[in-house]
Amino acid sequence: MTFRFKFSRRGPVRYLGHLDMMRYFQKVVMKAEVRAKYSEGFHPHQLMSFAYPLGVGMETDGDYMDLEMEDGNDPDEVMKALNSVMNEGVYISAVTVLREGAQNAMAAVTAATYELILECDDPIEGRLIIEKAVEEMLASDTIMADSKKSSKNIRPGIFELMVEPNADEQGIRLYMFLSSGSKLNVRPADLFNTLLTMPSVASAGSSFKMSLLRRLEIFGMTEDGKHVPLINPDVL
Amino acid sequence: MIVKPEDRKLALTHEILMSIDKPSRYTGGEPNSVMKDPDKTKVRFVMCFPDVYEIGMSHLGIQILYGLFNSWDDVWCERVYSPWTDLDKIMRDRKIPLFSLESQSPVKDADFLGITIQYEMCYTNILQILDLSDIPFYSKDRTEADPIVIGGGPCVYNTEPIADFFDLFYIGEGEVRYRELIDLYEDCKKAGICREEFLKKATGIEGIYVPSLYDVTYDENNRFVSMKPKYDFVPAKVKKQLVKDMNEAFYPTAPVVPFIRATQDRAVIEVQRGCIRNCRFCQAGQIYKPVREKSVDYLLDHAKAILKNTGYEELSLSSLSTSDYSGLKRLLEELMDYCGQKKINISLPSLRIDAFSLDVMNKVQDIKKSSVTFAPEAGSQRMRNVINKGLTVENILNGAEMAFRGGWNKVKLYFMLGLPFEEKEDAEAIAVLCNEIAKVYFETVPKEQRQGSVQITASSSFFVPKPFTAFQWAPMNKPEEFLEKAKITKAAVRAQLNQKRISYHYHDCGTTIIEGVLARGDRRLSASIEYVYRHGAIFDAWTETFSYENWLKAFEETGVDYTDYIFRTRPDDEEFPWDFIDSGVRKEFLLREWKNASMAKKSSNCREQCMGCGCTEFGCGVCVE
């Protein structure tokens, strides 16, 4: 049976890369002494996979890990056991059992939401500039983003993009709802870099720094085409 | 209040962390790292391994002391490692003070900065640590605003090249005297006693050496003559401290687990300390004498607790020579049983190859990928007698034959070149031995059973004489001699019948020369080390950052004839700058061994027969078995 865990990661532990995060979870499973299933072969390993690799520096409130378990494990007990040995800003907030034949987490991903905090010397002025840039971006049909290898039009993958009020007056808070997964993957960092090339930012001469990037939720798609969180029974 | 790991404020900004390689080297918060309330502790001790995080986190000694110190309520022990060159530059440019991983606060504010000194090539990194912390390099320039800088580890068996940079050194095993030292510090702090007075009082604790309280004299040839205490109460000899009963010693059952992959990324149990072998080139073999074993039951309890507390999927056994551990068979059997159920791998240290070790390796390793390792250290039997390495050609060939029958076809061999009394034939003998092993393969394994062919990898390092060994009087080879010998070996390999099956590598010789100077140098070298550091030297243990020319220039500019430390045979009666340390091993014993080496005469190991080295005085371990 496969368990799907929803987890958050906040604080200094966000500077781990994806592979280190995986190693961290493997150790947590060992420490908790829950009965995970192992691969065959000379060096058996846990059968663990993630919906979406977490980049270095990114926080999350809604990432997902799938883990193969031996039969007879109780999901809530396992979640409790894992959380009891997890003390480093990582926390499992929900668990569910996948039905037989369900898509694995990575294949199921279609979208994700993010918040991004920007810092600027003059936050009031800066906020206006970013609001303008967002408007410009949403008004055009084509937004070319340069990632490492290629340049692609990310505009169809921007479902929502808005500047939000920020309780902490320190920065400018951007909310984004972006297409993810194999169809069209829009990386928040690429979007941010492209935003900085918008005419209103380029002409303003202010400099913006990203001080926080946090994934809020990862979505899959229901049969009738709705984005729902990866733990929703309709995508399991 | 204790700060929760996720709420800790980091010393580096998000922007900086995102611009450097492996930012989690600097963010702390790893499982089992210890957070304490600074208001409820009296002493903040920052422990440093002066190399990059992944290397430092692999070191067992720091884990032991970190666990021990943090088991005391009044002490908060934190960690710091050398910032890699990318962050080093940023910290200098932006004047960011070096910080400890736990509290993320400046190292300079700590009470103690403890530096473990594991190899000579980290000396420039020690200056980097002091520099980035804004602590003066020289003990004499420090004030009440600076931490007490204390050094420990194997390099303290000749502290002199770095003596001026340290306030004090701890000679021996840390478990024994630190409580006393910290108590003294707390008393002095409470009574408002100044730094200088504290250091004077610290000389009353066995094993503590305060370099500033000794006068060193040199003769007209600039050679070391003597080192004398400045005051009556300062001991002329400083005695090595050691744990008498390893089953009573503290051992951390919840070591800090790095998030990123460390060089040694597994649970470790230390099966014994010390070594019985008396190899004449080996410093560790002498300074950790006598060998002291832990009981099998104690080790099993610890192994289980460590695995449970860390979640490691691999366990390794640590010691200088695990094959000599008397309880090895039972220990491995029980561990294999336990780990097998839990899907935990056992990583074996280099065991002596025999029927037993091959059987164990067969059970825990994938033969297709693994190799068998021999460390003959020298190619000819005469040279192995010179260095007292009790491994014969028969041992090696029999072991190889058994391994080949068992399905292995990869063999690794370690050698040294530039050993005392070495001749051309000895360098050639390395190649002959490799060829013999290949020959055994072809004779043992029938053609139809060969899967791939035999692969023999031989590597040689260049020999560096170390203090407290029989070779402390020995001259080192000059760079051209080293390279000439490596060439001889290489050519001899190429001349062998099975040469296609043998690959041969040798190490860099520039590093070797500098290591040799620092290993047996004296106090005048601190100026050279400072010079080379100020001219950009850092991470000298890394080939990509080491510059031999830089060092040679530093010796020249600071007026040090480095050749005098390494290229001459030291007379039998020469006084050494490290003679003031009482390691338990007597100089007369080492001299006797030096003479035996010159006659290629073997000595026995500590279990066969006591060689009378002097360590029986400790009254523990193999000496009282």
Query: Under a CB-based contact definition with an 8 Å cutoff, are residues B580 and B238 in contact?
Result: yes
Taking an 8 Å cut-off on Cβ atoms, the answer to whether B18 and A56 are in contact is yes
Is residue B28 domain-resident?
yes
Contacts B259 to A, Cβ<8 Å: 13, 16, 20, 23-24
Please enumerate in sequence order all residues whose Cβ is within 8 A of that of B393, keeping only pairs 6 or more positions apart, or say none: B381, B433, B436
> Tell me, what's the pLDDT at A149?
74
The residues that bridge with A68 in the sheet, in sequence order, are A2
CA gap A6, A95 in Å, rounded: 6
Please write the tens of the pLDDT for every residue from B509-552. 999 999 999 999 999 999 999 999 999 999 999 989 999 999 99
The gap from C-alpha A215 to its chain's centroid, in whole angstroms, comes to 4
Domains of chain A: 2-107 (3.30.70.580), 111-229 (3.30.70.100)
A168 pLDDT band, cuts 50/70/90, is low
For residues B223 and B319, membership in a common domain is answered with no
Q: Is residue B248 part of a domain?
A: no
**Residue at token pair 């068992």:** B406
| B301 occurs within a structural domain | yes
Distance CA B599, CA B382 (A): 9
CA–CA distance, B314 with B293 (Å, rounded to integer): 22
The answer to whether residues B220 and B126 belong to one domain is yes
* B94 class by beta-carbon count within 10 Å (0-12 exposed, 13-18 middle, 19+ buried): exposed
pLDDT at A203: 85
For residue B227, the cross-strand partners are B216
Q: Which two structure tokens, joined as six digits, stand for B607?
A: 């279990």
Range of the domain at B300: 266-364+582-625
What's the gap in Å between the CA of A206 and the closest CA on chain B? Answer: 17
Could B31 and A42 be called an inter-chain contact, meaning their C-beta atoms sit closer than 8 Å? Answer: no
Does residue B279 share a domain with residue B164? no
CA atoms within 13 Å, Cβ hemisphere of A123: 13
Own/partner pairs, A159-168, CB within 8 angstroms, 24+ separation: A159/A111, A159/A227, A160/A113, A161/A134, A161/A137, A161/A191, A162/A134, A163/A127, A163/A130, A163/A131, A163/A134, A164/A115, A166/A117, A168/A117
Q: Which amino acid is at B218?
A: Y
User: Which CATH number fits the domain that encloses residue B592?
Assistant: 3.30.750.210
DSSP B97: P
Q: What is the pLDDT of residue B351?
A: 86
Report if residue B287 sits inside a domain.
Answer: yes
Task: Find the DSSP H helices in B478-607.
Answer: 479-494, 509-520, 525-534, 548-557, 563-566, 587-598
Q: Phi and psi for B154 in degrees, rounded to 5? A: -60, -30
Among the candidates B233, B257, B290, a domain finishes at B233
CA pair distance B493, B497, nearest whole angstrom: 9
Per-residue pLDDT reduced to its tens digit, A214-228: 999 999 999 899 999
Q: Is B86 helix (H, G, I), strand (E, B) or coil?
A: helix
- Interval B24-47: pLDDT, tens: 999 999 999 999 999 999 999 999
The set of residues, in sequence order, having a beta carbon less than 8 Å from that of B220 and lying 6+ positions away, is: none
Specify the amino acid at residue B589.
F
Phi and psi at residue B235, to the nearest 5°: -70, 140
Q: DSSP label at A36?
A: B
Cβ atoms of B129 and B115 closer than 8 Å:
yes
What is the mean pLDDT of the segment spanning B588-613? 97
Q: What is the pLDDT of residue A103?
A: 87
B223 lies in some domain: yes
Q: What is the DSSP letter of B99?
A: B
Determine whether the interchain pair A12/B29 forms a contact, defined as Cβ–Cβ distance below 8 Å.
yes
Spell out which chain B residues touch chain A, with contact meaning CB-CB distance below 8 angstroms. 5-8, 10, 13-15, 17-18, 23-24, 27-31, 257, 259-261, 307-313, 342-345, 366
Question: Structurally, how many domains does chain B consist of?
Answer: 2
Last residue of a domain, one of B186, B210, B233: B233
CA-to-CA distance for B255 and A103, rounded, in angstroms? Answer: 39
Query: Hey, what are B257's tokens?
Result: 């687990």
**What's the confidence (pLDDT) of residue A202?**
83
Looking at the complex, report in whole angstroms how far the Cα of residue B21 sits from the nearest Cα belonging to chain A.
10
Mean per-residue pLDDT of chain B: 95
Task: Tell me the HSE value of B597 on the side-chain side, using a 13 A CA sphere.
Answer: 25
Question: A27 and B24: CB-CB below 8 Å?
Answer: no
Q: Is residue B386 within 8 Å of B407, Cβ to Cβ?
A: no
Per-residue confidence (pLDDT) for residue B2, from 0 to 100: 56
User: Confidence class of residue B6 from pLDDT cuts 50, 70 and 90?
Assistant: low
Task: Name which of B343-357, B371-385, B410-424, B507-521 the model is least confident about.
Answer: B343-357
Structure tokens at B281: 């080139």
Q: Are residues B279 and B346 in the same domain?
A: yes
- Does A162 score more than 80 pLDDT? yes
Do residues B312 and B163 both lie within one domain? Answer: no
Is B29–A88 a contact, with Cβ atoms under 8 angstroms apart?
A: yes
Q: What is the pLDDT of residue B451?
A: 81
Same domain as B189, residue B275:
no
Q: Do A33 and B308 touch (CB under 8 A)?
A: yes
Where does the pLDDT of residue B605 fall: very low under 50, low under 70, confident under 90, or very high at 90 and above?
very high
Contact A211 B15 (CB under 8 A): yes
Residues B79 and B127 in one domain: yes
- The CB-side HSE value for B246 (13 A sphere, CA atoms) comes to 23
Alpha helices, DSSP H only, in chain A? 18-32, 75-84, 105-108, 123-139, 188-195, 199-204
The helix (H) or strand (E) run that includes residue A4 is: strand A2-9
DSSP string spanning A62-109? EEEEEEEB-TT--HHHHHHHHHHT--SSEEEEEEEEPPTTPPPHHHH-
Here the ipTM equals 0.94
Query: Which pLDDT does position B304 carry in this prediction?
Result: 97
The chain B residue lying nearest A57, using CA atoms, is B18
Is residue B616 pLDDT above 60, yes or no? yes
Quick one: closest CA in B to A35, which residue?
B342
Return all residues near B111 (Cβ < 8 A) that are at least 6 apart.
B43, B44, B45, B147, B148, B185, B189
As a whole number of angstroms, the longest Cα–Cα distance in chain A is: 62
Residue A32's nearest CA partner among B31, B70, B258 is B31
Q: pLDDT class for B4, splitting at 50, 70, 90?
A: low
Tokens describing residue B241: 């401290």
Selecting from B23, B344, B366 the residue whose C-beta is nearest the C-beta of A42 gives B366
Would the CB atoms of B311 and A87 count as touching at under 8 Å? no
B106 and B188 co-located in one domain: yes
pLDDT, one tens digit per residue, over B570-584 is 999 999 999 999 999
Judge contact between B415 and B374, C-beta under 8 A: no
Q: Are A63 and A218 in contact (CB under 8 A)?
A: yes
pLDDT at A167: 63
- Res. B324: pLDDT tops 70: yes
What pLDDT shows up at residue A182? 87
The CA dihedral of B369, B372, B376, B379, to the nearest 10 degrees, is -70
Tell me: do B183 and B322 sit in the same domain.
no
- Is pLDDT at B7 greater than 80 in this prediction? no
pLDDT at residue number B86 = 97
| B338 in the same domain as B212 | no
Q: Enumerate residues 6+ apart whose C-beta is below 8 A from B193.
A: B187, B201
Instruction: Quote the pTM value.
Output: 0.95
Taking an 8 Å cut-off on Cβ atoms, the answer to whether B308 and A28 are in contact is no
Report CB contact under 8 Å: A27, B307.
Answer: no
In a domain, B386, yes or no: no
**B111 lies in the same domain as B206:** yes
A212 → chain B, closest CA residue: B14
Q: Which residue of A has its CA nearest to B265?
A: A23
Q: What is the pLDDT of residue A41?
A: 82
The answer, yes or no, to whether residue A166 has pLDDT greater than 90, is: no
pLDDT at residue B1, rounded to an integer: 53
Q: Which pLDDT band, with edges at 50, 70 and 90, does B286 fall under?
A: very high
B121 with B514: CB under 8 angstroms? yes
* B130 within some domain: yes
Dihedral sign of CA atoms A103, A104, A108, A113 in order: positive
Q: Backbone phi, then psi, for A24, in 5-degree steps?
A: -60, -50
**What's the CA gap between B516 and B566, in Å, rounded?**
6
Q: Are A82 and A32 in contact (CB under 8 A)?
A: yes
Q: For residue B486, is it within any domain?
A: no
CB nearest to A13's CB, from B17, B29, B309: B29
Q: What tokens appear for A104 in the block?
A: 């694995």
Q: Are residues B166 and B18 in the same domain?
A: yes
Residue ranges of alpha helices (H) inside B449-505 are 479-494
* Tokens read off for B307: 């695995």
Percent of chain B at pLDDT > 70 equals 99
Whether B413 contacts B450, CB under 8 Å? no
Using an 8 Å CB-CB cutoff, list chain B residues near A89: 5-6, 29
pLDDT of residue B450: 87
Q: Is A12–B10 a contact, with Cβ atoms under 8 angstroms apart?
A: yes
**Element at A12 (helix H, strand E):** none
Q: Which residue of A has its CA nearest to B10?
A: A12
Chain A residues with CB under 8 Å of B14 CB are: 57, 210-212
- Consecutive H or E run containing B168: strand B168-170
- Find the radius of gyration of the CA atoms of chain A: 20
Amino acid at B375: A
pLDDT digits over A108-122, tens only? 999 999 999 998 888
- Report CB contact under 8 Å: A30, B309: no
List of chain B residues whose C-beta atoms are within 8 Å of the C-beta of residue A29: 311
Residue A123's pLDDT band, with cuts at 50, 70 and 90, is confident
Confidence of residue B3 (pLDDT cuts 50, 70, 90): low
